[in-house]
Amino acid sequence: MQKLDPTKMKDWEIAEAAEAGLRPAKELAAELGLQEDEWTPYGRVLAKVDVTRVLRRLGEKKRGKYIDVTAITPTALGEGKTTTTLGLVEGLGRLGKKVVGCVRQPSGGPTFNIKGSAAGGGLAQVVPLTSLSLGLTGDIDAITNANNLAMVALNSRMQHERNHDDAWLAERGLKRLDIDPERVQMRWALDFCAQGLRNIEIGLGGRLDGFNMKSGFYITVASEVMAILAMSADLADLRRRLGRIIVAYSKSGAPVTTADLEVDGAMCALLVNAIQPTLMQSIEGQPVFVHAGPFANIAIGQNSVVADRLACALGDYVVTESGFASDMGYEKFWNIKCRCSGLRPDAVVLVATVRALKAHGGAPKVKAGLPLDPVYTTENLELLEKGCDNLLAHIDIIRRSGVQPVVCLNAFYTDTQAERDLVRRIAEAAGARFAVSDHWLKGGEGALELAEAVIAACEDPNEFAYLCDLSEPLKDRIEKQVKEVYGGDGVDFEPLALEKLAAFQANPDTAQLPVCIAKTQYSLSHDPNLLGRPKGWRMPVKDVLIYQGAGLIVPVAGEIKLMPGTSASPAYRRIDVDVETGHVHGLF
């Protein structure tokens, strides 16, 4: 294989060059100790793994050290969290550790839009890139279909109840649900950024053309079905959760579920293979499980519980990743995912870059398509020190969970030694371990300092504990999260939100569900313009949603879109195929 040089090659070129040396799935499965009936090949280098069979044989006891990777508040410059996750996997591999990575499947929306795929970058990637980015083994397609089947069932039922009397329904074994078209909770799903489908009207035409009502789409990864896949313990748990999804309310206010529509079994049938994680690998050949893909600003932002449990049963070190920053992804890892999985982190890595910290310190705003301001590429200790307030906020969030983080400074060639030393001093003064990692340029070799720091951190005692007890009132838990995690002064609930909270609190089936706040990822607050470590703000909560199947209460703070929009310069403009070889190029 040719020498891979990230300074002279694009990510897709590196991934394509690496494909010739990929290890067969059979070899990876054998190295993990999987038996032949516990995995199914998808071509030469991909496989689906049957979690139920593996855990039934090995038992539920956690074996591997469990490491979560999170980051400071995102900026337009990027922090390289997935790249760092893969770099750490490769670094631990270089040290002879039996390591397994766990990451989310990329969503088609970002892949074809601005962000691109979620494969990592440089010499720290999941491969093969094309398979990962363009559907993989079909999980997101299955989730899209399961979600939309529920919507088909809902609209069909509404049409037939409108067109026929109770006797006609009874002849067909149906009971009138009397669904309120103004209180439909579910939407259609599509895994692209399609802002034109956020709000639509369906059922136009005659009485045979469906029920006429307002509707809309969300991106598939924001679907409750995706959250359920990420949180389910096994196929049986997935089946139970699917039947509890509230799709609408009746005119009397009663919830109408997928079980009421008798569509939950068929939805599960579409997801039988999707509950099994996909086995892939890093560029350096370490095994990586890819599974689930919900966003952290509008969902739980984690790869699946089953992938982590599987990895912890098979590996000595397990590296997983939480979406966005620690106030978003890590908070949900800490208070939601760990409750579902029963796992506890042995170490937490907090990723930062000098450039992103300067942005939080007040450097000029980055504008797409324009050159970076020179302040980002030349030494500026004053801006950097101001920006470290954001780093300190995230250190405090992780420490609030009972774990001292390892701060990873993701290296860029423009960093000066004085800048790196400044971040080190600030991080260590706050009680965190610190490492500089050059994994993008050097792969596992560049991540050795980080890997060694993480190994040491895994031996540190920690006092991991949840932020709240689920017996505490929902309103109190929301306010506690805003004050103690985000750093706000309190919460302003709009009347609709208070009304819904009171109803959820009065219901014993919902009063003790975990809280999953939906807010912007670009600030510790609800306002994306408040960078750094904002003070003196209050969080407005205008609505509170319930994902009863996933088991989540979702307060909505600020303006959150469940269907992102496509930019004027999307990634799909640069993606194409070599018609002679069939190779896809232009992914990033």
Question: What is the rounded CA–CA span in Å between residue 456 and residue 553?
Answer: 37
Which residue shows structure tokens 């939309």? 148
CA distances (Å), origin 298, targets 155, 294, 442, 520, 557: 25, 8, 34, 9, 10
How many residues are recorded in the chain? 588
Angle between helices 139-163 and 224-231 (to 10 degrees): 130
**Angle ∠(9,15,18) on CA atoms, nearest 5:** 105
Question: What is the rounded CA–CA span in Å between residue 318 and residue 329?
Answer: 17
Q: 288: helix, coil or strand?
A: strand
Q: 314: helix, coil or strand?
A: helix
Structure token pair of residue 393: 């906020």
* 561 CB burial (10 A radius; 0-12, 13-18, 19+): middle
Residues forming the active site? 81, 83, 104, 115, 296, 324, 412, 440
Torsion of CA 34, 289, 6, 326, to 10 degrees: -140
Angle between helices 417-429 and 381-400 (to 10 degrees): 30
Question: What is the rounded CA–CA span in Å between residue 173 and residue 53?
Answer: 38
Which residue shows structure tokens 């607050």? 525
Which residue shows structure tokens 């001093």? 425
CA distances (Å), origin 179, targets 136, 170, 429: 37, 17, 59
Contact 288, 69 (CB under 8 A): no
Structure token pair of residue 257: 């579920």
Find, among 261, 233, 287, the residue nearest to 27 by Cα. Answer: 287
Structure token pair of residue 264: 């939950």
Q: What phi and psi, each to the nearest 5 degrees, are found at residue 497?
A: -65, -45
* 273 CB burial (10 A radius; 0-12, 13-18, 19+): middle
H or E stretch at 433: strand 433-437
Contacts of residue 436, Cβ cutoff 8 Å, sequence gap at least 6: 408, 409, 411, 420, 424, 449, 450
